[in-house]
Structure 1
């Protein structure tokens, strides 16, 4: 602990001005060091909060992108199922037309004697 300049006479019987000046310089330096330490700690805490905020935003952005991809995947899956159902319907319709055409052709062939 640094003695106060006012108590220099009890610390040093001569109470010289040089000692008082040096002690004041030491006190100023000590106070300035404390102030800078507090300022550095505040800056560190602000930096940690900022990094945490950026990390949260990045996670939210990635999660949002993943969620959008999942929704698009489900939409594409539903569209693919609908297309498969339409293809199946057209296949069935085509098979019916071919069967009807074959039946007509067979009937025509039977009428020729």
Structure 2
């Protein structure tokens, strides 16, 4: 897209003047300077607008890039929090199972001890029975003599 520069537009508006016109050359030069000044101002305004637009676009691109990066970071953060919550829950469950296992171990130890005591009691009863039979046999032998 071609647009003539303000300076070329100003040059196109300058009309040739003859030396016969009083102040014609001077007024043409003044007109040329005036047109150049206005075209410079328009060009400066246009440049400033384009600069502001470029800054807005750069800020928008920057915001989009930050959002894109932060989206992944935020997802990782949410996942990390979920994992930490699961770890805490698992730690509580493990602690509960450890207590339950300790209770089972204590109960099985008590049962084992009781079984040993029953075995010891049974052995003691057999010994007592044998001793009683020996005493009865001795008394029976003494009584028959």
Q: Where on the TM-score scale, by shorter chain, does this alignment land: which range?
A: 0.7 to 0.9
8 Å contact from structure 2 (residues 14, 28) kept in 1: yes
1:24-35 to structure 2, matched below 5 A, reads: 24-35=32-43
What's the TM-score once normalised by structure 2's chain length?
A: 0.60
Once residues 20 and 64 of structure 1 are traced to their aligned partners in structure 2, the CA distance between those partners, rounded to angstroms, is: 65
1:17-56 to structure 2, matched below 5 A, reads: 17-56=25-64
Corresponding residue pairs, total: 108
What's the TM-score once normalised by structure 1's chain length?
A: 0.73
1:6 aligns with 2:15: yes
Shift of 1:108: 4.1
Shift of 1:88: 2.5
Which runs of 5 or more residues in structure 2 are unaligned? 1-9, 125-145
Once residues 43 and 112 of structure 2 are traced to their aligned partners in structure 1, the CA distance between those partners, rounded to angstroms, is: 103
Which residue among 60, 74, 77 is the counterpart of 1:66? 74
Q: Please list the CA deviations of residues 37-75 of structure 1 after superposition, one character each: whole Å capped at 9, or x if unmatched.
A: 212111110011001111222333333322211101111
1:85 aligns with 2:93: yes
Once residues 65 and 88 of structure 1 are traced to their aligned partners in structure 2, the CA distance between those partners, rounded to angstroms, is: 35
Q: Which has the larger radius of gyration?
A: 2
Runs of at least 4 residues off by over 6 Å: none
